[in-house]
């Protein structure tokens, strides 16, 4: 798995209002790092830069040492999988939604991804494959179930880098706990960046970075930061 690194990243939407002012941190290969911070800290901006919706204005974002501006858009998309906060599903079956964007996915791959995301009960293992589109429809799913579909979709892509972007913040607390565990399992062995606004929604990161006004203002382990309040 590759290391993900932000090196002295600067970014502003408007020249007179800097948002990121020298953001530096690394997610070591195969580890999980969380960035937490209040609304307005710059967390979504960081995610947008990672997907090159915008480019950094100084500094660099690197994957395995390579500047992401030197990577093709296709490779970047293969390298990074995101589980976003609000997953929008098609009003089609769960298996279709999992395989969306991957026309080459086999039925077995879809079932495997679904099993890894603990929704195998919703996938009918028919011999003629998921093209039969049996099963629940996306619009009928609960928030927690939708997030499981999003996790399965990302797992099917099997990217070396995972981004959880406020992935549990739309859920009630019972679902939140359950989905956190699914995410933690999915993150095992992957280079994972967790973006969250509350420390309590981050379960098992090797390091937690507290971001405010576009900078890392504090870093530590979960226990140490919680102890500080
Ligand atoms: P967070 O995700 O931590 O809440 P954001 O990255 O969304 O923070 O926002 C950081 C700052 O950038 C905020 O002050 C916000 O108002 C500003 N901002 C975000 N998106 C835009 C945009 N498209 N144009 C101008 N300013 C923006
Ligand atoms: P794929 O590139 O394999 O189709 P996805 O379907 O997960 O992967 O997402 C497509 C692309 O859309 C991502 O690579 C990313 O660039 C962008 N994207 C999707 N969801 C988000 C999000 N919540 N925030 C930022 N970018 C996103």
* Ligand 2 atom closest to Cα of residue 76: 14
- Give the Å distance between the CA of 228 and the centre of ligand 2: 35
- What pLDDT is stored for residue 131 in this prediction? 45
* Averaged pLDDT, 97-125: 83
Query: Sign of the C-alpha dihedral, residues 200, 226, 27, 160?
Result: negative
In angstroms, how far apart are the furthest CA atoms of the chain?
60
* Averaged pLDDT, 184-197: 92
* Ligand 2 atom closest to Cα of residue 78: 3
Q: What percent of the chain has pLDDT over 90?
A: 53
Q: Has residue 75 got a pLDDT over 90?
A: yes
Q: Has residue 128 got a pLDDT over 70?
A: no
Pocket of ligand 2 (CB under 6 A): 47, 51, 77, 81-82, 84, 101, 157, 165
Query: Sign of the C-alpha dihedral, residues 224, 85, 50, 21?
Result: negative
Nearest alpha carbon, ligand 1 atom 26: 13
- Give the Å distance between the CA of 43 and the centre of ligand 1: 8
Our CA angle for 223, 9, 71, nearest 5°, is: 105
Q: Ranked by mean pLDDT, which of 29-33, 133-137, 168-172, 184-188 comes out on top?
A: 29-33
- Give the Å distance between the CA of 135 and the centre of ligand 2: 25
Nearest alpha carbon, ligand 1 atom 11: 40
* Averaged pLDDT, 177-197: 91
- Give the Å distance between the CA of 82 and the centre of ligand 2: 6
Query: Sign of the C-alpha dihedral, residues 34, 40, 44, 45?
Result: negative
Model confidence, pTM? 0.87
Q: With bands split at pLDDT 50, 70 and 90, how would you rate the model's confidence at 18?
A: very high
ipTM: 0.77
- Supply the mean pLDDT for the chain: 88
């Amino acid at each position: 798995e590759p290391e993900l690194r932000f090196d002295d990243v600067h970014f502003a939407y408007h020249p007179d209002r800097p948002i990121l002012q020298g953001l530096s941190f690394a997610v070591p290969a195969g580890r999980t790092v969380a960035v937490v911070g209040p609304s307005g800290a710059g967390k979504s901006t960081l995610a947008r830069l990672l997907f090159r919706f915008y480019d950094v204005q100084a500094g660099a974002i690197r994957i395995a040492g390579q500047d992401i501006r030197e990577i093709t858009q296709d490779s970047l998309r293969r390298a990074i999988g995101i589980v976003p906060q609000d997953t929008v599903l098609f009003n089609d079956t769960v298996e279709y939604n999992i395989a969306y964007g991957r026309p080459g996915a086999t039925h077995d791959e879809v079932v495997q991804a679904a099993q890894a995301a603990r929704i195998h009960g919703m996938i009918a293992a028919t011999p003629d494959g998921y093209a039969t589109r049996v099963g629940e429809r996306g619009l009928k799913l609960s928030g927690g179930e939708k997030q499981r579909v999003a996790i399965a979709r990302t797992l099917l892509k099997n990217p070396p880098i995972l981004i959880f972007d406020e992935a549990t913040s739309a859920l009630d607390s019972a679902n939140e706990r359950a989905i956190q565990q699914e995410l933690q399992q999915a993150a095992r062995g992957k280079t994972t960046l967790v973006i969250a606004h509350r420390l309590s929604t981050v379960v098992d990161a090797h390091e937690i970075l507290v971001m405010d006004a576009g900078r890392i203002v504090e870093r530590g382990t979960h226990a140490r930061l919680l102890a500080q309040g």
